[in-house]
Amino acid sequence: MTLTANWSYPNPIRFGAGRIAEIADACAAAGIKKPLLVTDKGLAENEITHRTLSLMEEAGLGRALFADVDPNPTDKNAEAGVHVYRDGGYDGVIAFGGGSGLDLGKVIAFMAGQTRPIWDFEDIGDWWTRADPDGIAPVVAVPTTAGTGSEVGRASVITNSESHEKKIIFHPKMLPAVVIADPELTVGMPKFITAGTGLDAFAHCVEAYSSPHYHPMSQGIALEGMRLVKEYLPRAYADGTDIEARANMMSAAAMGATAFQKGLGAIHALSHPIGAMHHTHHGTTNAVCMPAVLQFNASEIRGRFGSVAAYLSIDGGFDGFCSYVDELNAAMNIPKTLTDLGVTDPDMDSLVDAALRDPSTGGNPVEMTAENTRALFEALM
């Protein structure tokens, strides 16, 4: 079976090893002649970034780079990037990286021609209609981790540097025009990032599948996404150069984010404030939270996850699935508690408040209250 394809759902995805070579063609397809490549600080000096800049330069697209992007990127990073974008006269963005580089690249392109402040476009009701659609620059998205699936999403997660809350900026036109999903770019990920990002993809599928909203298409995608993670994440973790495993994890990541159009839930609602206040890695934080959230939701999801267990060849229905998640976390060296993850002296009141305000909260099958959310955080410490 060949692992190369052209997909158009939800956006055009050029999928396959080595396809970063098509970066100039992807820019042309997106109508970009003078791109700004946006990535995070960690990738600025990485060989995959240098190679992509060289490919751009050889094609006459220049080699402009903006890399002042933190993990869990902030409004300050966005502001600085928009400034560079406008000053340089660019006409589009190559959003390159894990979720941090992708989300910030998407937000720079979105804010390029807006006059309102970024927080006017939070994913609340129809705030996105305030945006000037003509002021949104095109994006070519190039994921270098296999987790967030931001390359197929219409949103960016940006941390408010004053309130230390993660906020979601949304616009339908924030969906990247073209994606290059090249699994070779993910080969150099450190082991703990392979694990954490892979488990983020898994969390997206688990939460989309758990959410009570009606979306059978998402159900199917989430189910197969979970199966791919089960089969290929241990392989990608054991041998980072296993391209078949890397390719299937890249698919699982895009599938998770496609599926979570249906909704997310308590894993993300808890993880977002922890990441924003304690600077932990997003996917790893989700993985720590998942076992407790599965138990929290048991009354609503037990039956549904019996089918998941059967599809994933796991014995024991919902309980078997929960045991499998514990084993997977242990195999990926995921800390058992938030304390072990490095969360010390948490401000519980702020964490609970932020979790209840998080947009993921509404998708959880069991209603989250101040009491049960505090109890969840305390159990996770």
Ligand X SMILES: NC(=O)c1ccc[n+]([C@@H]2O[C@H](COP(=O)([O-])OP(=O)(O)OC[C@H]3O[C@@H](n4cnc5c(N)ncnc54)[C@H](O)[C@@H]3O)[C@@H](O)[C@H]2O)c1
Strands 92-97 and 35-38: what pairing?
parallel
Instruction: Please identify, using beta-carbon distances, which residue of 82 and 155 lies nearer to ligand X.
Output: 155
Instruction: Please identify, using beta-carbon distances, which residue of 137 and 142 lies nearer to ligand X.
Output: 142
Residue type, 218: S
Whether the bond between 138 and the residue before it is cis, its omega within 30 degrees of 0, is no
Instruction: Please identify, using beta-carbon distances, which residue of 153 and 346 lies nearer to ligand X.
Output: 153
CA–CA separation, 185 vs 148, rounded Å? Answer: 15
By CB under 6 A, residue 261 contacts ligand X? no
Q: What is the DSSP string of 54-116?
A: HHHHHTTS---EE----SS-BHHHHHHHHHHHHHHT--EEEEEESHHHHHHHHHHHHHTT--S
Q: Which range of residues in 52-60, 117-125, 131-139, 199-207 is near Fe ion by CB under 5 A?
A: 199-207
**Quick one: which of 16, 35, 81, 97 contacts ligand X (CB under 6 A)?**
97
Q: Which range of residues in 57-65, 78-86, 184-192, 320-328 is near ligand X by CB under 6 A?
A: 184-192
Residues 357-376 that bind ligand X (CB under 6 A): none
Q: Which range of residues in 4-12, 193-201, 294-302, 338-346 is near ligand X by CB under 6 A?
A: 193-201
Residues 114-153 that bind ligand X (CB under 6 A): 144-145, 147-148, 150, 153
CB of 98 to ligand X, least distance (A): 2
Distances (CA, A) of 152 to 196, 255, 293, 302: 19, 9, 26, 30
**Quick one: which of 11, 74, 100, 251 contacts ligand X (CB under 6 A)?**
100
109: left (phi over 0), alpha (psi -120 to 50) or beta: alpha
The owner of tokens 């054991």 is: 238
Return the one option of Fe ion, ligand X, none that residue 182 interacts with (CB less than 5 to 8 A, by type): none
Give the other-Cβ count within 10 Å of 334's Cβ: 24
- Give the interface size with ligand X as a residue count (CB under 6 A): 33
Question: What residues make contact with ligand X under the rule CB under 6 A?
Answer: 40, 42-43, 46, 48, 71-72, 97-101, 103, 144-145, 147-148, 150, 153, 155-157, 166, 185-186, 188-189, 193, 197, 200, 257, 282-283
